[in-house]
């Protein structure tokens, strides 16, 4: 168990959320995804540029070094010349600014007097311009995470990046549909001191953003970035934590990683390893593998690759040392080699013989490098240029291991672990945007917004409970799953029983989701059709689950299509009465039996389940039994 206070944990949180506005931040394109439409494709190369002070951002140098060709795919239904960087940006979207200001006021932040747009250098291909447009909306404020007040540093508004479709060795493919969607970013002070506190802070911020009623929902619309450090460690930026529940795991794993690296640094110093001992002197050892049994190496050699090895003096045993699962120095070296050299990975002697590489081959490598018993060796199988870049990155990362924990940007994985992404950016990446005039924010405008702030989610929950007579648990599910607006609209529009709508939008969808049914892709219009037909008595509520599952498997088809395909359409009343009368006649001897209703209901439900509401069927059965008894 880690004592986070003792290790000096500090976490700063950045919450990003797409705003649900009618158009993008700097053009008139819609923010919604568009099916079909003409798709155009074009290609670009992006390179680093100096800032106004003559310096170049280290993250930009890293990306430019890859020299990747960027392939952009643009659906003209929601992408225009602005996203393609063929037309100047339009004035900033005032609707998006207003939503950001409302969120700011809900966090008691202080809005700026003027909104000035800046350019932030991003040349990984996710922006056609080579930069991201961003602007500060407010500063200060706070949110409450449990009993603790978490200060807010800045609230900014920026354009979301393009979505990567495919990353290949020398090129990357991006879809521009998401580029330019308004994105709000809330940054906290680094005062969070435990994984659980980080989760609470992120949820508190998320609740405030959802209270505005103007944020998008679904996969890819929200992400959290974390800035984490411990005493003696370094500030590490972790990008792209998608799930709220994953935050605690990411924080915990980063603390373990930094503690592990500090232990390794201490051991290297104990062994007397100095940075000057690490010399870049790679050796071509391809001949060692001429008759190798390793399928991986054999495949690469068949592609004209070569094998290069590098000695790491007195690193033996440290590359595979694993105090916690998945956290190893060898994995750090491999990630740097992949990022800087664009290679598939590395081998190292701590893990060999393995992967078909024999003990004899390992011994030959050690001889070629003149390795001592305490030395480790790293191998790369690639073309010479990539291999040299990869081994240089390995050497630099090994030198950093002597110092301790390097500052860097890492990417979050779905299991809560992280991997090296790039160097941390510096101040040189920001400069003014000259194509967009400032937007003045008057005090009168702020007071107007303050007078019509939306209710908090807590206030919304109380109102829903009282108005629709729902349980606290069901209301909380509606809010947590962000479907309370859809729920109210359907109930008010179609007059369906509130508990049925609420249970469908929460429990039924959750159950289907767990079974792998793609319910999140179902449009809101389908749910409106579902409850309209339910209110009209076209089918029974028991059929809802099957109808939704069918609709998810047959995207683009209607609820009525599902009703017909599943044969759950309710029969006419006359047909139902005739069937009930026939059933009663067959059981005439039970007419005066008190249990006749329950017994006959079982037979009827076998035939009409999903087609007729059970309560309606029960009521009709009782009416027909009373009529039969009256006839004698």
pLDDT per position as a tens digit, 71-105: 999 999 999 999 999 999 999 999 999 999 999 99
- Of 44-53, 245-254, 386-395, 505-514, which gets the smallest average pLDDT? 44-53
Per-residue pLDDT of 212-268, as tens digits, reads 999 998 778 899 999 999 999 999 999 999 899 999 999 999 999 999 999 999 999
Query: Helix H segments across 435-568?
Result: 443-450, 457-468, 472-480, 484-494, 498-503, 509-514, 524-535, 544-553, 559-566
Give residues with Cβ within 8 angstroms of 262, minimum separation 6: 232, 233, 404, 405
| For residue 50, pLDDT beyond 60 | no
Mean pLDDT of the chain, nearest integer: 91
Question: What are 522's two structure tokens?
Answer: 């179902």
Confidence class for position 429, pLDDT limits 50, 70, 90: confident
pLDDT at 526: 95
**113 CB burial (10 A radius; 0-12, 13-18, 19+):** exposed
pLDDT at 260: 98
Share of the chain above pLDDT 70, in %: 95
Distance CA 243, CA 195 (A): 14
CB-based contacts of 322-330 (< 8 A; 24+ apart in sequence): 323/256, 323/259, 323/260, 323/263, 324/253, 324/256, 324/260, 326/253, 326/417, 327/253, 327/256, 327/257, 327/260, 327/417, 329/260, 329/261, 329/264, 329/401
- Of 97-101, 381-385, 571-575, which gets the smallest average pLDDT? 571-575
pLDDT at 622: 81
What kind and span of H or E run contains 173? strand 171-175
| For residue 54, pLDDT beyond 60 | no
In this structure, the number of other CB atoms found within 10 A of the CB of residue 436 comes to 20
Q: How many CA atoms does the CB half-sphere of 305 hold within 13 Å? A: 20
Distance CA 288, CA 406 (A): 35
| For residue 552, pLDDT beyond 60 | yes
Are 211 and 20 within 8 A, CB to CB?
no
**Nearest CA to 427 among 92, 14, 46, 53?**
53
**Nearest CA to 381 among 482, 292, 250?**
292
Q: What is the largest CA-CA distance in the chain?
A: 108
Confidence class for position 577, pLDDT limits 50, 70, 90: confident
| For residue 37, pLDDT beyond 90 | no
Distance CA 301, CA 606 (A): 66
Instruction: Using the Cα atoms of residue 238, residue 241, residue 244 and residue 246 in order, give the sign of their dihedral.
Output: negative
Confidence class for position 49, pLDDT limits 50, 70, 90: low
pLDDT at 513: 94
Confidence class for position 208, pLDDT limits 50, 70, 90: very high
Confidence class for position 605, pLDDT limits 50, 70, 90: confident
More confident residue, 453 or 520: 453
Confidence class for position 47, pLDDT limits 50, 70, 90: low
| For residue 463, pLDDT beyond 80 | yes
Question: What are 588's two structure tokens?
Answer: 């005439």
Per-residue pLDDT of 322-355, as tens digits, reads 999 999 999 999 999 999 998 999 999 999 999 9
Q: How far is CA 93 from CA 18, 49, 131, 304, in A?
A: 14, 28, 19, 53
Distance CA 526, CA 558 (A): 7
Distance CA 410, CA 628 (A): 76
Give residues with Cβ within 8 angstroms of 119, minimum separation 6: 129, 131, 132, 133, 134, 430, 431, 432, 433
In this prediction, residues 38-52 reach a mean pLDDT of: 76
pLDDT at 63: 56
Rounded to 5°, the CA angle 74-80-84 comes to 65
| For residue 58, pLDDT beyond 80 | no
Give residues with Cβ within 8 angstroms of 80, minimum separation 6: 27, 28, 29, 87
Distance CA 463, CA 469 (A): 10
In this prediction, residues 423-448 reach a mean pLDDT of: 88
The pTM assigned to this predicted structure is 0.84
Confidence class for position 598, pLDDT limits 50, 70, 90: confident
Give residues with Cβ within 8 angstroms of 28, minimum separation 6: 80, 90
**Nearest CA to 158 among 178, 184, 179, 125?**
184
Distance CA 509, CA 446 (A): 40
3-state helix, strand, coil split of the chain in percent (to 5) is 45, 20, 35
């Amino acid at each position: 168990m880690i004592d986070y206070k003792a290790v000096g944990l500090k976490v700063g949180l950045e919450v990003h959320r797409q705003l649900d506005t009618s158009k993008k931040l700097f053009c008139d394109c819609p923010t919604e995804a568009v099916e079909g439409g003409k798709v155009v494709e074009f290609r670009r190369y992006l390179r680093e540029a100096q800032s106004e002070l003559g310096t170049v951002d280290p993250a930009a140098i890293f990306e430019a070094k890859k020299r990747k060709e960027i392939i952009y795919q643009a659906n003209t239904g929601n992408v225009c010349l602005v996203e393609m960087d063929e037309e100047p940006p339009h004035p900033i979207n005032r609707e998006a600014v207003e939503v950001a200001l409302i969120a700011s006021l809900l966090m008691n932040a202080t809005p700026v007097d003027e909104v000035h747009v800046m350019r932030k250098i991003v040349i990984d291909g996710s922006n056609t311009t080579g930069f991201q447009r961003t602007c500060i909306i407010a500063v200060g404020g706070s949110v409450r995470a449990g009993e603790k007040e978490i200060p807010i540093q800045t609230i900014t508004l920026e354009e979301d990046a393009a979505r990567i479709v495919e990353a290949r060795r020398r090129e990357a493919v991006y879809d521009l549909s998401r580029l330019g969607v308004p994105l709000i970013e809330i940054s906290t002070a680094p005062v969070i001191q435990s994984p659980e506190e980080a989760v609470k802070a992120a949820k508190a911020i998320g609740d405030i953003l959802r209270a505005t009623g103007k944020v998008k929902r679904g996969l890819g619309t929200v992400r959290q970035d974390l800035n984490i450090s411990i005493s003696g460690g370094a500030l590490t930026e972790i990008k792209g934590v998608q799930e709220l529940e994953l935050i605690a795991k990411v924080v915990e794993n980063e603390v373990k990683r930094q503690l592990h690296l500090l232990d390794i640094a201490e051991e290297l110093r104990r062994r007397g390893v100095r940075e000057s001992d690490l010399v870049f002197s790679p050796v071509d050892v391809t001949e060692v593998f001429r008759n190798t049994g390793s399928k991986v190496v054999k495949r690469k050699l068949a592609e004209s690759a070569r094998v290069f090895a590098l000695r790491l003096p007195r690193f033996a045993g440290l590359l595979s040392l694993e105090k916690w699962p998945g956290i190893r120095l060898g994995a750090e070296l491999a990630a740097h080699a992949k990022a800087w050299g664009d290679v598939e990975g590395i081998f190292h002697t701590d893990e060999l013989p393995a992967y078909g590489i024999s003990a004899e081959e390992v011994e030959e490598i050690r001889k070629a490098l003149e390795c001592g018993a305490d030395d480790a060796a790293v191998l790369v199988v690639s073309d010479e240029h990539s291999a040299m870049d990869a081994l240089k990155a390995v050497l630099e990362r090994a030198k950093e291991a002597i110092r301790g924990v390097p500052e860097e940007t890492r990417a979050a994985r779905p299991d809560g672990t992280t991997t090296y992404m790039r160097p941390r950016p510096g101040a040189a990446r920001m400069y003014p945007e000259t194509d967009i005039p400032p937007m003045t924010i008057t005090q009168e405008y702020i007071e107007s917004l303050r007078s019509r702030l939306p209710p908090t989610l807590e206030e919304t929950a109380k109102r829903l409970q009282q108005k629709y007579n729902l349980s606290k648990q069901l209301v909380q599910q509606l809010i947590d799953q962000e479907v309370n607006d859809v729920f109210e609209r359907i109930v008010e529009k179609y007059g369906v029983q509130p508990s049925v709508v609420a249970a469908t939008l929460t429990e039924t969808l959750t159950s289907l989701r767990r079974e792998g049914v793609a319910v999140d892709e179902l449009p809101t219009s389908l749910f409106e059709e579902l409850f309209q037909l339910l209110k009209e008595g076209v089918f029974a509520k028991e059929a809802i689950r099957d109808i939704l599952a069918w609709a998810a498997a047959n995207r683009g088809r209607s609820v009525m299509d599902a009703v017909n395909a599943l044969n759950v359409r309710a029969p006419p009343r006359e047909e139902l009465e005739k069937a009930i009368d026939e059933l009663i006649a067959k059981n005439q001897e039970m007419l005066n039996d008190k249990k006749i209703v329950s017994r006959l209901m079982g037979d009827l439900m076998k035939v009409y389940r999903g087609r007729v509401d059970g309560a309606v069927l029960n009521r009709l059965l009782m009416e027909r039994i009373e009529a039969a008894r009256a006839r004698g």
